[in-house]
Amino acid sequence: MRKVLAMVVATVMVMSVVAPAVQAAGESSGAAGFFTGCCFGLRTGADYNDLGTGDRDFLPWFLVGICLGPRTAQDYRDGKDFHWREIGRAVPYVNVIFYVWDGIDIAGGKGRADLQQAYPGNYY
């Protein structure tokens, strides 16, 4: 329990330092896109680049997303398949590579249309 509490406190501290810089950027890619892609994955990161946070501040939007999870399950219920990169995120220790990879892709400004061109439409 102490480890979990320490991790939550550390996350809040890091976000309190990073969030002002992210909000100053004011773009849907860049640092905010990187954090979104790393934590939520390619699908939600692409939605973030396309739609933004819906006129919400980035930090509360980000923390709610961490607690409630990404939209991948919703996409799966809507008939989309899991992508191999999403399955790679479930592999212990190797998943860090996929977190960073997703973050870099989303930081570059990729949206759903870009992912639909790169991968078959049954994923995105």
The token pair that represents 114 in the structure block: 């870009």
- The model's pLDDT over 64-99, given as tens digits with 9 standing for 90+, comes to 777 666 667 778 778 888 888 888 888 899 999 999
* Arithmetic mean of pLDDT, 57-64: 83
Distance, in Å, from the CA atom of 67 to the CA atom of 69, rounded to the nearest integer, reads 6
pLDDT band at 51 (very low <50, low <70, confident <90, very high): confident
pTM recorded for the entire structure: 0.67
pLDDT band at 12 (very low <50, low <70, confident <90, very high): low
- The model's pLDDT over 92-119, given as tens digits with 9 standing for 90+, comes to 999 999 999 999 999 999 999 999 999 8
Q: How many residues does the chain have?
A: 124
DSSP 91: S
